Structure 1
């Protein structure tokens, strides 16, 4: 099992708290709220805390303070395809899209009627590729525009479904407010479950079918763990404050 000892001295297993990051601990692509971060520092000091996110380490550290990152037993970057304990890289998956898959995504980008498209549409990470029609360089106004477009057109759901029907070696899921995450079969967030024993509580904002938290949520529920679907970091904060076992 992972990291520091996750048992009480009496032999009872600690609750393992697993948190998605974007939309669960932070605003979408934003930094962690200062009040929440101060509270969460205490929580992570006294509980077994893990993070799992589609983002790479550099982007996560733009959102989560380094001192909180280092309090986590493990951080599963890129949906578990790149794993860190503080400043030590534990493992890395080198899977990448094929040229055929890459060009297929470019065709979907060209076909989309959304404007503007601001660049950096295909972001290659260890074991994961993120695809965004608006582009990862979008500002808040452009992100808001695309979110409205996508809510009306269901563009990301449509693209992800078409990808999954065409390619059988990997899976596309809706991620965050503007992206689609693509991982190899078995390389989604569910893969981290092999590292855990004992009780689990998982917080995520995309636990519904088609979301990039879905497979992990299903795996946690199958294990008998608790899945808490949130709509924002405020939901997470409020839920944690209401827990009896919060120190």
Structure 2
């Protein structure tokens, strides 16, 4: 039997009732609880919103993680649920299910510098005195490196415990300061996000990178110039991985505390 999303159709982008407007969403903490699945309520709301306006997500994680959180609950490709999909801040991108040009962290930084960075990170974490350590402390992605002092294999309960510990001790903040001192000359940005990790990427490759895709798409035949770009995110404070796009003059930023906030604001803004 076909699911609701498989039989759902949407007006062409140029014919959406709210013209020249797109709504972009962070994933963790905005559309979903951290690292958990999206709820049926918010997936239904996104489908209703897409009838009126273009929508997209922009997440720091790679596409398989966004598929797990957003697409798997409906058993459909996540690229079918949004008009634009910007994984790894847009380094991997799709429009209407079709891939857009990509870029690579390793091409930018070079293999030798990358090895120096990883060596420094692993030595630092080895000497770090924190209650528990699990596994996958460095995760290489297409557009960035994700670093987790506790390790990305931590359970949800362990993630929550570390988040509380980190708020008191500033483990990630101090580690980022050390990395800026050591590798700042490489033109890298260090951005704390989520519960247990931070991202390392070339300066300018934060979430504002995805806006380049929208600008380039507007120049193509049939492309749309989005004069209004709403962005919803939860890590909008200085140092958070939503800060740059939230504060960008090209966007209208909305800071939320979780999916419930997002649902409430969308209903009020778009009469859903």
1:85 is displaced (CA, Å) by 3.0
Aligned mates of 1:246, 1:14 — CA distance in 2: 18
Q: Is the 8 A contact 1:51 1:76 kept in 2?
A: yes
Aligned mates of 1:165, 1:103 — CA distance in 2: 15
Aligned mates of 1:172, 1:114 — CA distance in 2: 21
Aligned mates of 1:136, 1:68 — CA distance in 2: 22
1:135-188 deviation line (CA, Å, top 9, x unaligned): 111111111111111010111122222222322321110011111011112111
1:42-92 deviation line (CA, Å, top 9, x unaligned): 212332101000110101011002366413121110111111235433222
1:234 is displaced (CA, Å) by 0.8
- Residue range with higher mean Cα deviation, 93-102 or 45-54: 93-102
Q: Does 1:191 align with 2:209?
A: yes
Q: Is the 8 A contact 2:229 2:252 kept in 1?
A: yes
Q: Is the 8 A contact 2:66 2:78 kept in 1?
A: no
1:8 is displaced (CA, Å) by 4.5
Query: Which position in structure 1 is the counterpart of 2:268?
Result: 242
Q: Is the 8 A contact 2:104 2:142 kept in 1?
A: yes
Aligned mates of 1:41, 1:153 — CA distance in 2: 41
Query: Which position in structure 2 is the counterpart of 1:44?
Result: 50
Q: Secondary structure at the match of 1:189?
A: coil
Query: Which position in structure 1 is the counterpart of 2:235?
Result: 206
1:6-21 to structure 2, matched below 5 A, reads 6-8=13-15, 13-21=19-27
Aligned mates of 1:75, 1:240 — CA distance in 2: 19
Q: Which of 88, 93, 105 is the matching residue for 1:95?
A: 105
Query: Which position in structure 2 is the counterpart of 1:56?
Result: 62
Query: Which position in structure 1 is the counterpart of 2:148?
Result: 132
Aligned mates of 1:51, 1:27 — CA distance in 2: 15
Gaps in structure 1 of 5+ consecutive residues: none
Q: Secondary structure at the match of 1:92?
A: coil
Q: Does 1:84 align with 2:113?
A: no
Q: How many residues align?
A: 239
Q: Is the 8 A contact 1:41 1:68 kept in 2?
A: no
> Which has the greater radius of gyration?
2
Query: Which position in structure 2 is the counterpart of 1:73?
Result: 83
Q: Secondary structure at the match of 1:201?
A: strand
Gaps in structure 2 of 5+ consecutive residues: 1-10, 216-225
Q: Is the 8 A contact 1:44 1:68 kept in 2?
A: no
Aligned mates of 2:117, 2:16 — CA distance in 1: 51
Query: Which position in structure 1 is the counterpart of 2:137?
Result: 121
Q: Is the 8 A contact 1:45 1:71 kept in 2?
A: no
